[in-house]
Amino acid sequence: MDLKFIEVKGGFLQPVSNEENIILERVKGYDGPLPKAVLDDREQELARNLVKRGLLTRFVYEGNLCFVLNDLEELWES
């Protein structure tokens, strides 16, 4: 499994799988906050785990649960 390492605020490194990286790219490329409803069940679970690890933020926007990318710095791939 290929991993990327992403730095979150505070200098902590988080390994990110290819599957998780796809979710991060979807959130990053979406025009505005990404609604949870556009994600399938597996993607919602991945997004929830990314929130726990500090890579995404989850909040209610215009009545919808949404995700946005936190300030991150991509460091390297292994």
Report whether CATH 3.40.50.720 matches the domain 18-71. no
Domain ranges of the chain: 18-71
The beta-carbon contacts of 45-52 under 8 Å, at least 24 apart in sequence, are 46/19, 46/20, 47/23, 49/20, 50/20, 50/23, 50/24
Q: How far apart are CA 18 and CA 4, in angstroms?
A: 8
Instruction: Tell me which residue of 19, 7, 12 sits closest to 71, measured CA to CA.
Output: 7
Report d(CA 19, CA 46) in Å as an integer: 8
Residue found under tokens 């998780």: 20
pTM: 0.84
- The one-digit pLDDT tens for each residue of the chain (78 residues) are 678 888 877 778 889 999 999 999 999 999 999 999 999 999 999 999 999 998 999 999 999 999 999 876 655 555
